[in-house]
Amino acid sequence: MSRDRTGIRDLEGGLSELAGLRDLAVEAASPGEIESGGLGLTLEWGFADSPFGICSIGWNPRGVCHLAFHDSPKGFPEGMLRSWPRAGFSRNDKLAARMAGKIFQKKTGMRVFVRGTAFQLKVWRALLQVPAGSLTSYSRIASAIGTPRASRAVGTACGANPVAYLIPCHRVIHENGIVKGYRWGTERKRAMIAGECPANQNGVHDGKDPMERGRPRPLEAAAAPRTVS
């Protein structure tokens, strides 16, 4: 595995060698659950603080089904309603705060429960095998999952990711190293990349809020990707 001058890992040889680096189980909704819009499902949800701003989290006993970021804790998360329009919902901000603690402190044993097409699920599972502190590109994910001409479709699948951060679409950047086009904001994406660089992973911090750390830095300074031999 190699790394080019943009800091992007070469994953074209396949993702299998990275398997197991992300302790997250993905369960896909059944065709019947998708067709019914979640009829009969009950989802708990709530707003919570996170290192990257206010987030909304939705979950049920099968896993986290929604995670998105917001400017303020108002209204109902539109993305969750689009995914599960006929499900029942129960708001619980206290439990959402506890869930956020587990997610952003990187507790093991997390599960996600998502609806998506076969192609989207393939992309999302591939993203889980890009380890923290590393970056890849849309075209390289496309090649790694056996569809080398589908980089645009990979980008669309990343944009449809219903579970931010846990499914780490923020680790995918353009081939030229540019960080942009993140559904929840470029500054937030830079902050996530900065927070996963080896120095911060080892407990060395500069005393700044993650969003402040990510804001002014160019990609090369923020990402500091490591190589794996």
In the chain, domain spans: 16-22+117-223, 30-113
What kind of fold does domain 16-22+117-223 have according to CATH? Answer: Arc Repressor Mutant, subunit A (1.10.10)
Judge whether residue 216 has pLDDT over 60: no
Provide the pLDDT confidence category of residue 22 given band limits of 50, 70 and 90.
low
pLDDT at 200: 55
pLDDT at 164: 97
pLDDT at 162: 97
Provide the pLDDT confidence category of residue 201 given band limits of 50, 70 and 90.
low
Say how far apart CA 73 and CA 70 lie, in whole Å.
Answer: 7
pLDDT at 180: 84
Average pLDDT, the chain: 81
Q: What is the pLDDT of residues 105-148, one digit of tens each?
A: 888 889 999 999 999 999 999 999 999 899 999 999 999 999 99
Q: Name beta bridge partners: 44.
A: 59, 90
pLDDT at 134: 92
> Residue 46 corresponds to which tokens in the numbers above?
């709530």
Q: What is the pLDDT of residues 24-35, one digit of tens each?
A: 899 999 999 999
Q: What is the pLDDT of residues 72-88, one digit of tens each?
A: 999 999 999 999 999 99
Provide the pLDDT confidence category of residue 165 given band limits of 50, 70 and 90.
very high
Say how far apart CA 137 and CA 9 lie, in whole Å.
Answer: 8
> Which position among 55, 158, 169, 197 bears the catalytic label?
169
| Secondary structure (3-state) at 46 | strand
pLDDT at 222: 29
User: With the CA atoms of 139, 145, 147 and 150 taken in that order, what torsion angle do they form, in degrees rounded to the nearest 10?
Assistant: -40
Class for the domain spanning 30-113: alpha beta
pLDDT at 175: 86
- The DSSP line for 204-227 is ---SS-HHHHHSS--HHHHH-PPP
pLDDT at 103: 95
User: With the CA atoms of 128, 56, 158 and 107 taken in that order, what torsion angle do they form, in degrees rounded to the nearest 10?
Assistant: -10
Active-site residue, 169 included: yes
